[in-house]
Amino acid sequence: MDVLNIHERELQADPEAVGALIDSLSSPEDRLWPRYAWPRMAFDRPLGVGARGGHGPIRYVVEAYTPGQSIRFRFTAPKGFAGSHGYEVARSRPGQSPVLRHTLKMSAHGRAIASWPLVYRPMHDALLEDSLALAQVSLGLPPDIQPWPLWVKMLRWGISGGKAHGQTMPGSFKQGVK
């Protein structure tokens, strides 16, 4: 099964400031990955080509990285995920705001043909929307928060043994989303 999944947000900010969000991934000052509600992104070394890591059961290696512009990760797990995902700052025409885009492109094989649409995709979609909202907050913009669907709340509850936190936004926007 071929999968193409894109999440993006136009950001009223300087393209260099948007690119700096990508550069902060997995660092102690990470301003893009929503680690307050999702498994932390971590690598075996600083962000760069060849760094290995991931988040939760999703494992990958940094395949390409252009500081301030883009990063692409190649999946190494779970079994059945063959492809890549990553962030990029889409450079717009002069006078238009940059777009922060996350693209996942893969082929699902074996059990992943069922696990992607039933478990991973809903969780992935919620995590990426939280990431884009965090990008807005990190740039001093009001966040466009997409509430988690009931299925995502149920999956999080089941996977965590009932210990998963609800959806919140750090920093100046600490209001929970129902």
pLDDT bucket at 175, cuts 50 / 70 / 90 = very low
pLDDT per position as a tens digit, 28-41: 999 999 999 999 99
pTM over the 0.75 mark: yes
Cβ 73 vs Cβ 63: under 8 Å? yes
* C-alpha separations of 69 from 76, 102, 149, 150, 151 in Å: 23, 12, 31, 34, 34
Per-residue pLDDT tens for 131-168? 999 999 999 999 999 999 999 999 999 988 888 878 87
In-domain check, residue 58: yes
SS3 86: strand
Where b means 16+ CB within 10 Å and e means fewer, 121-137 reads ebbbbbbbbbbbbbbbb
**Structural domain boundaries enclosing 136:** 2-159
CATH code: domain of residue 57: 3.30.530.20
Task: Note the residue count of the chain.
Answer: 178
Q: Any alpha helices (H) in 33-111, and if so which ranges?
A: none
Question: What's the pLDDT tens digit per position in 53-92?
Answer: 999 999 999 999 999 999 999 999 999 999 999 999 997 6
Q: Does the residue 11 lie in any domain?
A: yes
Number of structural domains the chain divides into: 1
Q: Looking at the predicted structure, is the pLDDT value of residue 174 above 70? A: no
